[in-house]
Chains A and B, each alone.
Chain A
């Protein structure tokens, strides 16, 4: 069975500082990895995805993530955050041939402060 762990439930950071949101997964088969963002009272929006190929994935709004198979991690990074990045971020995994079912982490609340 797959599982996703987001160790940090909340991450406070000052505007223009860098940030890293951590995600680790467990799976015995090949996986696809995703980061979604949820702004208050809204649905989820895809930030970026890893399906195959380059392990460094660039997404929208200046975010990027690196797939590390040996460490089973897919950490999300941004070099300089903005107030508008305040939101909840979810890491998710699906596996090939699995009906595209997503298993989500419990989420990380990113709070950007002035």
Chain B
């Protein structure tokens, strides 16, 4: 039981490049989330999903897209990376109104 895993762990992009972050969970959770963590700002919700095939915007969705084609996977895409998207990205999953389980994070640097 791996819990929540994220791929890759580190990535460096140049401005304008695109990439996809993969989140996978093996707990059969319905809900999945993408957050970004920046110093002094806590974690902010980017997008989330309440079930396979659904997605919704969070607090800071601009510049990101997501897809949930399979229940266990939640993908976060950056179509044209900007330096402002340099951050640590965390994926989480949960079942209904219980605690969220977090992945180890992806550290992204955009130069």
Give residues in A with beta carbon < 8 Å to B: 4, 9, 32, 34, 36, 41-46, 49, 51, 90, 94, 96, 99-107
Contacts and interface: CB of A to CB of B under 8 A. Distances in A.
Given A99-B50, A100-B96, A100-B97, A43 B42 contact: no
Range, interface on chain B: 20 to 34
B31 interface: yes
A106 B42 contact: yes
Interface of B: 4, 31, 33, 40-45, 48, 50, 56, 58, 90, 92, 94, 96-105
Contacts of A94: 97
Nearest to A107: B42
Given A43-B90, A96-B97, A99-B50, A104 B102 contact: no
13 contacts: A42-B104, A42-B105, A43-B90, A44-B43, A49-B99, A94-B97, A99-B31, A100-B94, A100-B98, A104-B44, A106-B40, A106-B41, A107-B40
A99 B41 CA distance: 22
In this complex, which of B45, B50, B98, B104 has the most chain A Cβ atoms within 10 angstroms of its Cβ? B98
A101 B42 contact: no
Given A9-B40, A102-B45, A104-B42, A44 B99 contact: no
A99 B99 contact: no
Contacts of B44: 104
Contact of B45 (A4, A101, A105, A106): A101
The list of the 8 closest CB pairs from A to B, nearest first, reads: A104-B42, A43-B102, A44-B102, A106-B42, A104-B43, A43-B104, A46-B99, A100-B97
